[in-house]
Amino acid sequence: MKKGYVTMPASIESIAKSNLTSDNSPVANALSRRTSVRRETIIGWLFVLPALVMYAIFVLVPLVMSIRYSFYSWNGIGEMTWVGIKNYITVFKVPNLIGTIGNAFQLVLYFSIFPVGLGLLIASIIHRVAPGQFGEVTRTILFLPQIIPLVAAGIIWGWLLSLSGLVNEILNAIGLGAITRAWLGDFTWALPAVGFIGVWVLLGFCTVLLLTGINKIDPSLYESARIDGATWWEEFTSITVPLLKNEIGVCLTVTITNALAAFDIVYVSTAGGPGNSTAVPGIQIYILAFTQQRIGLASALAVLLMILVVIVVIPIQRLSKESTL
Amino acid sequence: MKISRGEYYSGRIFLLLMMIITVLPFISIFTTALYPSGTIPDGLSWPANPHWENFITAFKVANMSTLLASSTFIVLAVVPISLLISTMAAFAIGQLRIPGSRFLLFLFVFGLTLPMGGIIVPLYYLERQMGIYNTRLAIVLPLIGLYMPFAVYWMRTHFINMPTEISEAARVDGASTWDLFWRIHLPLAQAPITSLGILMSVWTWNQFLLALVLVEDPSHRTMAGALGAFQGHYATDVPLLCAGTIMILVPTLIIFVIFQRQIISAMLQGSIKG
């Protein structure tokens, strides 16, 4: 891409050319060229305008409002009182609030490490032993949880992980009856259980994405490795993983963003409980704003959440993009 | 091919196991849905006399026909408008390359990873002021805005790769900017527009947070939002809740089976571009 082209309408040259044939005076030519350039610019901006207006009103304005609210104490109806950075101090001081960020990071571990790790494993197995129809079926079935509403995933697993649900029934059947419990109601196990739901949802997505990546790798690399009698593990560590850096980066970005911004699954399966053990920022923002009417505090947490996502996502994007250069 | 028999079978058994783990939850809620309403059934066993009428009850109490209509309306309002205005913007940024393109692109990309939780509170107060709170517009309008970063970025990737010679040739023939867009570039952009349309339809259908916060009346919500309300009412009646969940899943699953190739590839491309 030539640099000069970026800021200039592509059609200037052709317009200038047609002007030259109709008018030989250089002054008139320059004038009409300037007006047509300006006309082009205006028309171009008119094309952008509808999208820009919708984006500005429903995303940028609320974003600025969030930042503004975060410096006030407000119950949503009465007077707004300026409190400076007091809301932010409260977020960092109160264990239940700062704890949501800790919970979010724990969810990041479950949501990203397991789907990406297991996804790599499954994708490479499909590539090695089931390149045909069997692999095709596997990939479609594993992808299924990705397209259903997260709310439905939360409801389904809310039932499966309950005291008389399928998970405990299977544990009983294989002789692990001693560890059965209401998983989502247990202070220690609720967060890992929510994490597990995330794994179920995201695994297929990661698998399919990584599989597409593997299929792009030059098959001769695998062929020569197999001629040398490479085991599955050698193939996996020396070819598959290093050459999939880009796809792994994409998977991590998607899964981590999903974990930090989690709301639907948690809201339906545990609503943040028991106690505050599964409360993530999204849930806490909702509770603070819509059941406790503490808009300022909710907004401070919202701003911190947005900053958090940017801080976490940008380095991953950088790293995975660099490796392809 | 130097794959041992042992590896071949153990690999396939492992894959089979993963498929079973993925599908079991669906089977479990299906068998559960057939137990008598109000009982607490076992996880996976087939009921002695299946109560198929649970599905009819769920269809009625969840107000399913209204919900389908409401969700369809929301998708039909959001997706075509989003497609049109994002494609127009991307055309100006990626093909016309108007002055300020870089800034505009930066502005849109800035919103790509924005979590919805970050702006949901002000959105609520904004919509109360605008008087659209608790109407379908309360979901439709913000969704269009929220899709713009991704949609513009997606379509711009297409337009930046289209040779400008096409536009120049049309200009020489006296085409206006609108003709250029509508007659020449839009037909050429059909493939990315279709993928984007599929993606935004699925996202809209499954949208929960906006529906929960901005629309009190479940019959004006999206499918996912209505499911949340349904759960609130029937949390203790497990068979009915499962029947309702299945009813709400069926349309999505049918669409997935029909368009699975397009949906999977659109979702993958979407994440790679994003």
Rg (CA), chain B: 23
Per residue in B104-143, pLDDT (tens digit) is 999 998 888 889 999 999 999 999 999 999 999 999 999 9
B69 interfaces chain A, CB cutoff of 8 Å: no
pLDDT of res. B45: 74
Structure tokens at A196: 């597990």
Structural domains in chain A, CATH included, are: 3-56 (no CATH), 89-322 (1.10.3720.10)
Residue contact A47–B119, C-beta within 8 A: no
- Could you say which residues from 102 to 121 on chain B have a Cβ atom under 8 Å away from some Cβ of chain A? 102, 104, 107-108, 111, 113-121
Which superfamily does CATH assign the domain made up of B63-273 to? MetI-like (1.10.3720.10)
Global confidence as pTM: 0.85
DSSP assignment string, A87-135: HHHHHHH-HHHHHHHHHHHHHHIIIIIHHHHHHHHHHHHHHHH--SHHH
- A8 CB neighbours in chain B (<8 A) are 97, 99
Q: What is the 3-state secondary structure (H, E, C) of B54-101?
A: HHHHHHHHCCHHHHHHHHHHHHHHHHHHHHHHHHHHHHHHHHHCCCCH
pLDDT of res. A305: 95
**Is the separation of the CB atoms in B140 and B74 below 8 Å?**
yes
Residue contact B98–A9, C-beta within 8 A: yes
Q: What is the 3-state secondary structure (H, E, C) of chain B?
A: CCCCHHHHHHHHHHHHHHHHHHHHHHHHHHHHHCCCCCCCCCCCCCCCCCCCHHHHHHHHHCCHHHHHHHHHHHHHHHHHHHHHHHHHHHHHHHHHCCCCHHHHHHHHHHCCCCCHHHCHHHHHHHHHHHCCCCCCHHHHHHHHHHHHHHHHHHHHHHHHCCCCHHHHHHHHCCCCHHHHHHHHHHHHCHHHHHHHHHHHHHHHHCCCHHHHHHCCCHHHCCHHHHHHHHHHHHCCCHHHHHHHHHHHHHHHHHHHHHHHHHHHHHHHHHHHHC
Interface test with A, best of B8, B18, B249, B253 (most A CBs within 10 A): B18
Please give the span between the terminal C-alpha atoms of chain A, in angstroms, as a whole number: 17
pLDDT of chain A, 325 residues: tens digit per residue: 333 333 334 444 444 444 444 445 555 566 666 677 788 889 999 999 999 999 999 999 999 999 999 999 999 888 899 999 999 999 999 998 999 999 999 999 999 999 999 999 999 899 888 888 899 899 889 999 988 999 999 999 998 998 888 898 889 889 888 888 889 999 999 999 999 999 999 999 899 889 988 888 888 888 888 888 888 888 888 888 888 888 898 889 889 999 999 999 999 999 888 988 999 999 999 999 999 999 999 999 999 999 999 998 888 877 766 544 3
Rg (CA), chain A: 27
DSSP A277: T
pLDDT of res. B198: 86
pLDDT of res. A104: 94
Structure tokens at A238: 């020396």
Mean pLDDT taken over chain B: 88
CA distance B166 to B160: 12
| Predicted ipTM of the assembly | 0.89
Nearest chain A residue (CA) to B7? A129
A13 interfaces chain B, CB cutoff of 8 Å: yes
Nearest chain A residue (CA) to B205? A149
Residue contact B164–A10, C-beta within 8 A: yes
Residue contact B89–A212, C-beta within 8 A: no
Name the region of A188 (left: φ>0; alpha: ψ -120 to 50; beta: rest). Answer: alpha
Element spanning A322, H or E: helix A295-322
Amino acid of residue B125: Y
- A226 CB neighbours in chain B (<8 A) are 1-3
- A51 CB neighbours in chain B (<8 A) are 85-86, 88-89, 108, 148, 151-152
A232 interfaces chain B, CB cutoff of 8 Å: yes
Structure tokens at A324: 């392809």
- Asked if pLDDT for residue B272 goes beyond 70, the answer is no
Residue contact A59–B145, C-beta within 8 A: yes
pLDDT of res. B121: 95
- A142 CB neighbours in chain B (<8 A) are 18-19, 22
Residue corresponding to tokens 């028999």:
B5
Element spanning A200, H or E: helix A190-216
Which of A65, A295, A302 comes nearest B117 by C-beta?
A302
CA distance B105 to chain A (A): 11
A183 interfaces chain B, CB cutoff of 8 Å: no
**Is the separation of the CB atoms in B151 and B83 below 8 Å?**
yes
Interhelix angle for A95-108 vs A281-290, to 10°? 150
**Is the separation of the CB atoms in B66 and B219 below 8 Å?**
yes
**Is the separation of the CB atoms in A138 and B19 below 8 Å?**
yes
Nearest chain B residue (CA) to A282? B117
Q: How many Å is the maximal CA-CA distance in chain B? A: 76
Amino acid of residue B131: G
Structure tokens at A145: 């949880």
Which of B44, B91, B245 comes nearest A47 by C-beta?
B91
- A141 CB neighbours in chain B (<8 A) are 19, 22-23
CA distance B36 to chain A (A): 16
CA distance A60 to A306: 13
What angle is formed at CA B271 by the lines to CA B268 and CA B273, rounded to 5 degrees?
Answer: 105
Residue corresponding to tokens 């690399």:
A221
- Could you say which residues from 205 to 264 on chain B have a Cβ atom under 8 Å away from some Cβ of chain A? 205-206, 208-209, 212-213, 223-225, 227-228, 231, 238, 241-242, 245, 248-249, 252-253, 256, 260, 263-264
B189 interfaces chain A, CB cutoff of 8 Å: no
CA distance A27 to chain B (A): 22
CA distance A180 to B1: 45
Domain boundaries, chain B: 5-56, 63-273
CA distance A75 to chain B (A): 12
B68 interfaces chain A, CB cutoff of 8 Å: no
